[in-house]
Chains A and B, each alone.
Chain A
Amino acid sequence: MTLSKTLLATTALTVAGGAVAAQEMADSMTLVSWGGAYQSSQQQAYVEPYIENNPEVSATWDESSNEAVAKLRAMNEAGNITWDLVDVVASDAIRLCDEGLAMEVDHDELLAPGEAEDGSEVDPSDDFGDLIVSDCYIPQIVYSTTFGYRTDMVPEGADAPDEICDVWDLETYPGKRALEKRPINNMEWALLCDGVAKDEIYDVLATDEGQDQALAKLDEIKDDVIWWSAGADTPQLLADGEVFMGSTYNGRLYSVIEEQDQPVGMMWDAQVFDLDGWIIPEGLPEDRLARVKDFVRFATDTQRLADQAEYISYGPARETSAPLVPEDMKQHMPTDPENSENTFLYNYEFWADYRDDIDAKFQSWLAQ
């Protein structure tokens, strides 16, 4: 059934080629995302309502965002783009855009205007504001990387950890820590706890001495670190009691605490904000592009982004969506004023320029 449909579609494409009318839309989409709770929030907030309105459409998920850049390169080389819409973090979007693998979009033309509380319309480019970090990028949510800790492993007589530097305090809080196996975030946290002022961190990190300083600080806890690479690792390690504290995405911690009822607490101090959003691959055939544009306009409107916050504790990227987020979810949002007293915004430009160098240094430090 599906096989013959695919074959038919392929034949139709090769035969008809550009003759397909611009208004004609493909009736299947392949969406690429991260799996887990995040993907299911997208499914519930955007895809299900969209399919309800357009019953002829079918959507398939591919949980490949992790290797999106590599796969899109291979698809481009093979001349066979099988993805329609790809969910990536901002830094990947910038790379894909630079390499010409993602399509540049006019945000004001493509996206729905924001619906402000007073009923007025806001231009999408104003509504998303600074979060449009690349011409190809359509942001959806703001998430943060932050620490969670086992509440039942806090030593007697000690307060629960509430500062980023408690990660380095092995005396008060003995036990293993889980840190991501990459320099990003770890280097910033290390410098911050080594007494560097927050607004000077990237200046310091740009120098060789600054990088050595950060690694020296990380050296203090290196023996007690378990390095993670997938977002699910830290929740698993915390649930096992393998680590006392660990960094991961705030939505993962939310699910560990609220949905899985594990004895885990949140530490919001020095959380690092990052973005997640869509890109449209370059080179889609016209009918598929038309369908994707229609879907993306719907999926990123004010209401849909606010709906997503019902299912996962990530902040909507539109300013106009914020007031619509349910009250009981607001306290779990990384952007909530109580949680965001001390935050970082991941510095894309810095890491775009320095990532390769610092990565090499970090990896050789890890191997020592």
Chain B
Amino acid sequence: MATPNVVITETRTMPYGFTCGVVAAAGAFFGLFVGTAQGSGLVGIVLGAAICAGLAYLAMAYLGTAQERAFKWGVVALFALAGLLIGGVPGLVVGALFGWFLGWFIYWVGRCRYRMALPPYLTGGQVLWHYSFRVICGAIFVFLITPILVVMPLSFNAENFFTFTPEMLSFDPEGYSLRHYRNFFQSNEWQSALRNSLIIAPIATLLAVSFGTLAAIGLSQPHVPGRQVIMAILISPMIVPLIISAAGMYFFYSRIGLQGTYLGVILAHAALGIPFVIITVTATLVGFDRSLTRASANLGANPVTTFFKVQMPLILPGVISGGLFAFITSFDEVVIVLFVGSANQQTLPWQMFTGLREQISPTILAVATILVGISICLLTTVEILRRRSEKMRGMSPG
């Protein structure tokens, strides 16, 4: 990072050909989308490239840095107006945003500002890679997150369909409503599904955490015979395709009368959660100093006291993060519950699954948004706990 009062690289005006070429490429990229939406992608590419190259030339050759501020506002206004004419209010917003980006981009490229934050000795290729790398990372991020982001505004749809209505696109308050959230909180089916999920997931998590932690501690003792084999068997629910476990559990649980009971679903989900707990707790145990348990025994504590007073507090972050993974697994799981559960144990994912197939109602999106919120909260907790444990063990200076 460059500190503000030390200029590492002088800025200078780049050759016009270079500036116009790069900006034209950006304009062509944007023009492709606008053009496709308006009927012809090719015209969009050509027009976008030409307009942006022209603006870049105007800024670099005639206006310079003196008129930079005026130029940027002009570009924002120009594109906002063009957007308004083509696409109404949404077009205005998109146009203004693009205008803002373009104004900044022209000066960033044209005045060689992109080198400011970098060491002066880098070659052109290295600078290109430096920024390409960031663009690629950004693209992957967008690819991962877009489906989730699309769901959120759609869940506030006033219509009963998965559609961005014209009212929504023009930011008309009429186009938005909380009816799908209301439906979720008022409908008996969704509420009983929520209740079932809240019964099954915590109990399954508790079982998974207890068994998983005990197994991890046992398996970390060097003298246990066949450790690798036992570990592989315990982790297998994570590796075997869910549908196979589900079909197997269905027939097995039917024979012993557990199919279609809460107990059956809880046990099945606990089996799914145990591997997560084993893995996270085993990882924390790696950093656990065994001489502490010996010291504790030496001071006269029995193994149970040692476990709760000495070992447990130190591996707690691993136990909690394993537990959270087990909880999310049970909370999001649909395949097993469709087999092992019956209509009385319909969980939220079950309800979403059948709802999606039989009636594409945005209530599902509202629920999805709520679940995403819960997942984010839980994962944030895990991350905070992880940092705390690193700090406690002195692994990270922060």
Residues of chain A at the chain B interface (Cβ within 8 Å): 2-3, 6-7, 10, 14, 30, 32, 34-37, 60-64, 66, 74-75, 77-80, 82-83, 230-233, 235-236, 239-240, 260
Contacts and interface: CB of A to CB of B under 8 A. Distances in A.
A231 B259 CA distance: 30
Given A2-B344, A62-B343, A7 B261 contact: yes
B300 to A, nearest CB: 43
Question: When A and B form their complex, which 5 residue pairs have the shortest distance between CB atoms, in order from nearest?
Answer: A78-B254, A62-B343, A35-B358, A36-B359, A239-B161
Contacts of A30: 342-344
Contacts of B354: 35, 63-64
Contact of A230 (B250, B260, B357): B357
B358 A231 contact: yes
29 contacts: A3-B263, A7-B263, A30-B342, A30-B343, A30-B344, A35-B354, A61-B343, A62-B346, A64-B354, A66-B357, A66-B358, A78-B250, A78-B254, A78-B255, A79-B254, A80-B260, A82-B259, A82-B342, A82-B343, A83-B343, A230-B360, A231-B358, A233-B360, A235-B161, A236-B161, A239-B159, A239-B161, A240-B163, A260-B161
Given A35-B354, A260-B159, 16 more contacts: A3-B261, A6-B344, A10-B261, A30-B344, A37-B359, A60-B343, A63-B358, A78-B259, A79-B254, A83-B343, A232-B359, A236-B162, A239-B161, A240-B162, A260-B160, A260-B161
Contacts of A233: 360
A253 to B, nearest CB: 14
B342 A230 contact: no
Given A35-B359, A78-B254, A232-B359, A240 B343 contact: no
Given A66-B357, A78-B251, A61 B189 contact: yes
Nearest to B357: A230
B262 interface: yes
B54 interface: no
B84 to A, nearest CB: 23
Contacts of B346: 62
Nearest to A5: B344
A4 B160 CA distance: 39
Given A61-B343, A232-B357, A240 B254 contact: no
A94 B393 CA distance: 68
B88 interface: no
Given A79-B254, A80-B254, A236-B161, A230 B358 contact: yes
B257 interface: yes
Contacts of A235: 161, 360
Contacts of A78: 250-251, 254-255, 259
A63 B354 CA distance: 6
B355 interface: yes
A233 B356 CA distance: 10
B92 to A, nearest CB: 23
B260 A240 contact: no
Nearest to B251: A78
Contacts of A35: 354-355, 357-359
Nearest to B252: A78
A216 B257 CA distance: 53
Contacts of B343: 30, 32, 60-62, 82-83
A167 B140 CA distance: 42
Contacts of A239: 159, 161, 163
A77 B189 CA distance: 29
A26 B250 CA distance: 24
A36 B358 contact: yes
A18 B288 CA distance: 59
Interface in B230-259: 250-251, 254-255, 257, 259
Nearest to A260: B160
A60 B189 CA distance: 9
Contacts of B358: 34-36, 63, 66, 230-232
B197 to A, nearest CB: 14
Interface string B174-213: 0000000000000001000000000000000000000000
Nearest to B199: A3
B361 to A, nearest CB: 8
Contacts of A10: 257, 261
A35 B263 CA distance: 26
Contact of A80 (B163, B259, B263, B355): B259
A30 B260 CA distance: 11
Nearest to A3: B262
B166 to A, nearest CB: 10
A6 B254 CA distance: 14
A60 B344 contact: yes
Contacts of B262: 2-3, 6
B3 to A, nearest CB: 53
